[in-house]
């Protein structure tokens, strides 16, 4: 079997992911654009489960970007302290809220180019926001998407950027579905250590159970 997925195998992967995950959404809890963007920023290098434990108190104290923009750094740090990189994340979400207030009258922009101008928002965060909020035809590569796409022969990229470009080229459309699918498939079935191959619906096209980590 070739290490790269063939056109036929890519079709099988597309079909199976659509069959199993066409209605998949993020597991982050949120009720508006502001909460979604904050939750995505906090989820970098942190589990969605942990973020969902932290955010209710955070959003109760700071219900919109207006309140968060005026927050004291130490108070936000205290609320985020069980999250990885909480010092930087506290600074970033306050800075993001300030820029949303100053540049967008408090409304989170639904535009990747505008999103990445906000403090603390990089390309991946912007894409995840657009995928979740608008079902945008974009890809975002996290640790799960990286590993799954390499195991399935959809990418041999060494970096997140290379992998994203290869996935966009090979999967072309419905990218929001494939992003959500690979995150959930990677989290619950194609796990980094001991993937649950007996539950897998892609064994016929799988190239390896090796663990790949973002380089
Ligand atoms: S067979 Fe195992 S390693 Fe391969 S894609 Fe399925 S779960 Fe992942």
* All domains of the chain in start order, with CATH: 7-24+139-199 (1.10.1670.10), 33-134 (1.10.340.30)
Q: Pocket around ligand 1: residues whose beta carbon is below 6 Å from it?
A: 151-152, 189-190, 195, 197, 200, 202-203, 206, 209
Assigned token pair, 206:
């799988």
41 in Cβ contact with 92 (< 8 Å): yes
- Residue 1's pLDDT is what? 45
Is 111 catalytic? The answer is no
In this prediction, residues 140-168 reach a mean pLDDT of: 96
Q: Give the pLDDT band of residue 215 (cuts 50, 70, 90).
A: low
Is the pLDDT confidence value at 124 over 60? yes
Is 142 catalytic? The answer is yes
- Dihedral, 40, 54, 120, 150 alpha carbons, nearest 10: -40
The residues, ordered by sequence, that sit 6+ positions from 46 with a Cβ below 8 Å of its Cβ are 83, 84, 85
- State the closest ligand 1 atom to the C-alpha of 207, by its place in the atom list counted from 1: 4
Among the options 142, 156, 169, 174, which is catalytic? Answer: 142
187, 190, 205: which to mutate for ligand 1, most atoms within 8 A of CB? 190
Q: Give the pLDDT band of residue 116 (cuts 50, 70, 90).
A: very high
């Amino acid at each position: 079997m070739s290490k790269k997925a063939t056109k036929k195998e890519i079709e099988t992967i597309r079909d199976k992911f659509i069959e199993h995950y066409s209605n998949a959404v993020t597991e982050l809890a949120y009720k508006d654009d502001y909460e979604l963007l904050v939750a995505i920023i906090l989820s970098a290098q942190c589990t969605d489960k942990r973020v969902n434990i932290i955010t209710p108190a955070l959003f109760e104290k700071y219900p919109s970007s207006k309140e968060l923009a005026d927050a004291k750094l130490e108070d936000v740090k205290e609320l985020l302290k069980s999250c990885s990189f909480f010092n930087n994340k506290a600074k970033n979400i306050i800075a993001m809220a300030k820029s949303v207030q100053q540049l967008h009258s408090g409304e989170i922009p639904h535009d990747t180019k505008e999103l990445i101008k906000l403090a603390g928002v990089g390309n991946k965060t912007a894409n995840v926001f657009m995928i979740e909020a608008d079902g945008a035809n974009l890809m975002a590569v996290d640790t799960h998407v990286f590993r799954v796409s390499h195991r399935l022969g959809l990418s041999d990229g060494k970096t997140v950027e290379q992998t994203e470009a290869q996935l966009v080229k090979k999967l072309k459309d419905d990218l929001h579905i494939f992003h959500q699918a690979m995150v959930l498939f990677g989290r619950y079935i194609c796990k980094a250590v001991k993937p649950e191959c007996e539950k897998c619906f892609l064994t016929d096209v799988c190239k390896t159970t090796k663990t790949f980590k973002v380089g």
